[in-house]
Amino acid sequence: MNYIKEINAFYIITQTNPLSPSASASASLLWHTLMHINNQTRWKPSFTVAVSILKTKTGVSESTIKRARDELQTKGFIHYHSRGGNQAAEYQMVSLWSI
């Protein structure tokens, strides 16, 4: 994945397919945070990260993260699935550049 191309694609896509006004800022922040984390994993196809880590990195509440995460998945920017219990959710970043 090319980090700069993905960031540019994110902004191009959100101009024509905007995030919902109620989730726009937090969804954008979460997408950038997940991209950063995925970059740290050297672009593994899937990775796990706890909500507590996302709360620390974004500065937003758990409920806001969950709403933003749902928005990003609905728009096709990420795939995630909750693994239940105290296990961290698993994420996959969708390559927006290749869309």
Could you read off the pLDDT of 29-84 as tens digits, one per residue? 999 999 999 999 999 999 999 999 999 999 999 999 999 999 999 999 999 999 98
Asked whether residue 98 is assigned to any structural domain, the reply reads no
Q: How confident is the model at residue 23 (pLDDT cuts 50, 70, 90)?
A: confident
Host domain of residue 64: 3-93
CATH code for the domain in which residue 72 is found? 1.10.10
Q: Examine residue 44 and state whether it is found in any structural domain, yes or no.
A: yes
Helix (H) or strand (E) holding 92: strand 89-93
- By the 8 A CB rule, do 12 and 51 touch? no
Cβ burial of 72 (10 Å; 0-12, 13-18, 19+) is buried
Is residue 52 domain-resident? yes
Whole-prediction pTM = 0.94
Residue with tokens 């006004």: 21
99 is a domain residue: no
E strand intervals along 2-88: 47-49, 78-81
Residue with tokens 């945070």, as numbered in its chain: 33
- 11 lies in some domain: yes
